[in-house]
Structure 1
Amino acid sequence: MKANSGKKPDNQKRKNNQKQKRDKIAVGFFRGIQFKLIASFFVPVICIVALGVSSYQMAANAVFSSYQSSIEQTMQMVEDYLNLVLDTEQASYRSYLQDDELKRYFLGNMTDAVVYKGRTTTEFKRAVTGDDLLANVFFISQSEEPIATVDLTGTEAYEAFVATPQGELAQANATKYLLFGNQSDADGALGVDSSKYSMRLVKKMVDSNGFMIIDFAHNILQDSLGALNVGEGTYVGLVTCDGGEFLMENGQVIEQEEKVFSGQDFYQNAVSALSAGGDATAGLSQVSYNGSDYHFFYRALGDREAVIAVLVPDSQILAQAADIRRLTVIISVAAVIIALALGSVLAKSFGGTIRKIVKCLKKISDGDLTVEIQSRRKDEFRLLTEGISGMASHMKKLLTNVKEVSGELTTAAAEVSESSEMFMDTSKNIKDSIQEIEKGVQLLDKDSADCLNQMDGLSSKITSVTDSAAQILKMTDAAEACIAQGMNATGELTSSAVSTTRITGEVIGAVDELEQKTRSIGQIVEVINEIASQTNLLSLNASIEAARAGASGRGFAVVAEEIRKLADQSLTAAGEIAKIIQEMIQNTGKVSEIAKEAESVVATQSDAVNATIDSFREIERQVSGLLEALQLINDSVKDMDSDRSATLGSVESISSVSAQTASSSMEVYGAADKQLEAVTRLEDASEQMQKRALQLSDTLKQFKL
């Protein structure tokens, strides 16, 4: 509030500067009512000018169309007339070119050539005298005297004419009738003056080296081309194939070195257009000649390579439309003067009233709402002044009410500012709390992820333990089967040991009996045979039992084999019994001892087998217990795997919930952040509202109510 109060002098100073600038503002001329009124009056003036220009243009077009039609018709008539004249004279003198006497004359085959020349000359002069169209007629030759209406001798005329461009053209075009102008370097040799004829028709004689030359009267072109004169500055001419011009200006024949048509670009373009083929025999173009604008009319003279040309100045064509242009200028100038006068008078009248209204409006803008505007006018300006007075009255009432509300607005702005500051502090605390919650949720989310990873590892380990337990069960089953096989083998070994003991007892008895029998010498052979037979049987049985006993009966098998050998030896060595009987007695004693020792070993072996059986039974009992324990472990592992799946689902649920919580906390954080921004803007707005309330209060003090 203090800072805002400190800015009051600056605001007042700025307002005073604005007031001074506003008082100095002046409306420029081009933005004023006077200029706008004059410009408005100029709109119909411009329309009048446009109408005059359009009328003038239409009149000019009509005049030009009339001129064009008239000139083209006249040119058509001139062409027809000249073609008629040329065709008539051409037909009249064509017979001379075909006359046999004339041919013989110029070939030098006529004996009375002088008489023929005189008679023909007289005939030509009489024809020219009686024909107003002709000026002279010439028949000239390289070798004979010319026949002409002019007194000529020798061949100088022929030589002079052949040397001219006209003679060269005639030589090159022997089958054509060529039309030339009235300027020729051979006129002196022909004894004529160019002012005495207008055009020359030339035809080469085919049978002899000579020419027929017909000069037409001067008045033919003067009268016919004079009809094309349309006024001052008009050029009319006949341009022949040799570039010669019969030229008339303002209806008078003129002689000048400079060509008007020949050599000009517009004329060459016209000749090109006529020579291009097609049906074009005439034309018109807009040209510039000697710095002035002209309309160029041209028309071909049949097929004689000559052109009737007319240059008509545009000023002459548009002369008849000059009155319309003059009237348009007068009316336009008068309209401009009237528009300026009316605009100035009305602008002055309006300007006084407007300045009065502006003066009162300046007072109102300075805060003086007590002014009243009065006007004597009875038009819209009176309505304007009454409206401005009503506006000032209503503004006075409005500002009175605003002044009353201004104090309340200032108080309310201060309260809003305090509330917004408190709201801003609360929003900051909420934002900080949400940040802490977000950190905790992020940590919980991280721990849940770690727990989930550890559960995944535990799950893989439990799966590995389950697989190992299953393998141990399989190995235990295999061990139990091996134990059963071992017990079966041990039982068979016990049976073999019993058989061995029995056989050993029998061996001992046999040895004792052998010892008794050996003492009977008389019955040595029979005893030996009997013993050998019995021994073989016993040896066979002993071998069978030893094979059954396996490793335990291996020693007994050796003994049995030895006994069998002894029996065999006894059978074969009956004759030697007497010698070895003493040895047998000794050996029998040893055998008895060995048999007893074997019996003792067999007894010991039986005890070992029994101990082995007991060990196998104990192993079987332990393995059964191991199987039960492994089955219990396997069941426990399955329960752990089931619990692991449930725990994993719970951890995933916790992770999902933590993620949702994090997302929600972010949304809440965003909302809190936006709320803080809104509160900040609210605080700024409340400060602005306080400033505006003070400004409003200061502004209201300026008004005089």
Structure 2
Amino acid sequence: MQNPFQRRMRKSGGGTSTEPSLSDKPTGAKADARARLRNPLHLLSVRLFLIVFVSIVACVAVVGTLSFQISKGVIEKKVTAASNETIDQIRGKLDLILGNYENFSIQFITDKSLQDNIRELGSSASDEYAIFENQRALSTKLSAMAMSNAEVMNVNYIPLQEKYGTNVLGTGNLKYETVKDAPWLKQAVELGGKSIWIPIQEKGFQGNDQRSFGLARTIRDTSGSYAYALLIELKASLLEQQLQNVKIGEGSRIRILDGDNTILIDNIESGLAGEKSVIDFAGSGASADSGSFITESNVGQVLAVYQTLETVGWKVLGMIPTSELVRDAKEIERMTWLIAAAAALIAILVGVYVVASVGRPLQKLRNLMGEAKDGNLAVRSDIRSQNEIGQLSESFNDMMGQITALVGQTRDNAQHVLHTASEVGEASRRTAGAAREIAVATEEIAGGATSLAMEAERGSDLAGGMDQNMRQVKAMSDEMRLSAEQVDQASRQGTEHMAAMIQKTGETEQMVRDMTEKVGRLQESTSSIRKILEMLGGVAKQTNILSLNASIEAARAGEAGKGFMVVAGEIRQLAEQSRQSIGMVESITTTIQTEIEETVEALGKAQPVFQEQIGSVKEANGIFHEVQARMNSLASTLENVAESIRLLDESQQQIGSAMGSVSAVAEQSSATSQEVASLSSEQLGVSDSLVGLAAQLEQVSQSLQRSLDRFKA
């Protein structure tokens, strides 16, 4: 708790002040007025008073606060133990009640008649009447079991498979569409037969505006698959009754929270149901199942005591305002402040004495020091006592005497320093001017050397480029000479091939003439063959006619001529085959004769072409001879060019070497000039710095002289 005396001291001492500098300090009467108006917190006497005052009050306050805190801790421990016991009793009762209803739900699993109805529903899917009867029997049985317990509002079977339909069996008017996608239904299926407690529903499961909570679990059929989900709807008053008339202290309240830290029941404000609790169990550092801690809530700072239900995982939370816990310890706090007030009064009396015996002499000495600071070195203290203040007064008088002598000596030294600074400044300015002229000349030399180095390097680059170009020209000349040799060799080979071609062309022309003559004789032979074939055709016709006449005569002869008739038939058949063969040979002969005529015509046309080709080949042979002669002349010229290029290359190498030497000398000269310029610049900088320092020394000497003139001995 904040001490009100400390609060007043902070208000009165919140400002700060700074001592004015020597140049800003007023003199005479103004200095005295400023001294009287200064902040009293800067006075030693006031500070001593505050130290005594704060020490006494702080000791009393600390003792009282410790007593209050110890009492508060003892009360909190006792209240926490009692509250834990009460919350544990509530938890036990709720675990017992919820456990009984879990046992009650097992009856719906173990009841034989219910199992028989479920089995028949699963096996009579095609018999609508049987389905209706079994569903009615199940609903009647569930209604009877629900009515056996006054706290049970409804009991329902929710189908989980298509073969059981979509009718919700049991009491009330629960619709399948409203619960088929409910999260608790999916969780019940995932748990595989284990019970799941559903938090309080503000409008109930069937929308009848009656607050309720529920227990759900799955029921299997004889095949082991899930058939229905059992939902037992219980009145919310079942839980509310357990919290009524239960108090763990003045202003306390008890809540039931679900696993998501949502308020299910509050025994003070029922309208808080469904809201998130602001109590942070995870951040408190307490155990997850049970514990206690002090935290902030929507009703202020509270002591939170909680236990976790074993059956469902919900928490029973009790909250007691911490202000109620320390109500009995407030008396200790009140007495503490009364004693602190008495101690403050004693401290004020002590402070008045300290101010009178210490503060006033010190204030007088401070005023004298202010006058001395303003330049009056003749001031002396007249305080005479045997304590530390009197000794301080004597020391002040001795100090002022020594300061007076020191100021006179310093004034003489300042005059000497001022004269010396003027001489040094003049010498430094002359040195700086000479260094500046040297730096300018050196920079010009360095610039000329740099330009020479650049031009030499450029000439070296040009020489290198000319050398590279000469090498390229030489390489191209070598390639041209090689190409000329290859062309000369190719022309010699072309001449030889042309001679061979002329010879072959003459031979080909002679062969064409011979072929023309042979084809002419073949044409005459073909004409003879056609005449023979015409004669054979006539013989075949006569033979056919004779065989026909023989057949006629054999037919007249009757039985005696049958053998002759067979022979006549074979002869006629052979005559017909001969006629066909002769016709085929005649056709082939005609084709051969036609092709021979075409061949003769083509050979007649080819012979002039061969004669023209012979003329062209002879002309090309003459061209090859001329090319060969010109290539020989070009090769000789290229040899002369190669010799000239070699001589030019040697000259170029000598020029490049000379330009490299010039460039190296120019670069060395440029580097030396730059180094000299750098040294000159450094010397110029030193000279300028020396001039600046001399000017500063002169200014400091003049300032010191003006400061010493303010003091009056």
**TM-score (norm: length of structure 2):** 0.39
Q: Which has the higher contact order (CA 8 A, sep 6+)?
A: 2
